Amino acid sequence: MNEFWMVLIVLLVGLAFYTFRILREYERGVIFFLGRFQTVKGPGLIIVIPGIQQMVKVDLRTMVYDVPTQDVISRDNVSVKVSAVIYFRVIDAERAIINVEDFFEATSQLAQTTLRSILGQHELDEMLAQRDKLNTGIQKLLDEQTESWGIKVANVEIKHIDIDESMIRAIAKQAEAERERRAKIIHAGGELEASEKLLEAATTLSAQPQALQLRYMQTLTEVARDRSSIIVFPLPIDLVEAFMDRAKKDDS
């Protein structure tokens, strides 16, 4: 008799274990009644009738998937290796269980093919300089394709873009040539601006002979400060005539 009660207690405990389920705040239970979808329950304490109802538990937290390194050929025929990471979560437990066999595996495979497809449409310079734009494009495309699975792709980040050593040297030479080009343009612009200012100064001095004479005297004063050498300057005729005219006026 005691054995009967012990077996009965064990059966009741087992039945209660399979009947009463506790789901956490971030979990949902997809309930099937005799194989057909019935409802989504949780969180908290729920009741599942053994043998008649089945429950599939779904985690609603954001999942992180590290996309393996992918071989990508850019639009300008450069072979690179790209790795990325995606963040996604289940927003509809019913669709995530019914519409796709394994939503995590499906999302990961789709992320790999989408990464190769999107990056293959851009040149190497765009991959290196416009990562934010590429991240946004990949995220939007993934989000559209996984919507029917009840999946929300929150973010995509390209982590590394590995280039061959020969291509790195070529990029360095290109960057150096670009810097030299900009330096020459800046130098030429400075020369042009200086020549324009000199032309304006020459025009002003030619219109005022007295200003030209003052400039000449100023130059002599600056040269005279250096006593290490002797410099002979020809005396302008205009300057001599100015002094002679002044002397004639004084004599008269």
pTM, full prediction:
0.64
Q: Measured at the alpha carbon of residue 105, what is the angle toward residues 99 and 111, in degrees to the nearest 5?
A: 100
Tokens describing residue 80: 């690179």
Mean pLDDT score of the chain? 82
Q: Are 67 and 111 in contact (CB under 8 A)?
A: yes
Asked whether residue 27 carries a pLDDT value surpassing 90, the answer given is yes
Percent of the chain scored above 70 by pLDDT? Answer: 72
Is 112:118 a contact under the CB 8 Å cutoff?
no
Write the pLDDT tens digit of every residue in 216-249.
666 666 666 666 566 665 655 555 565 566 656 6
Q: What is the pLDDT of residues 171-201, one digit of tens each?
A: 677 777 877 888 888 888 888 888 888 777 7
Angle at 119 between CA 113 and CA 121, to 5 degrees: 110
Q: Which two tokens stand for residue 169?
A: 């040297």
Closest CA relative to residue 158, chosen from 197, 105, 200, 114:
114
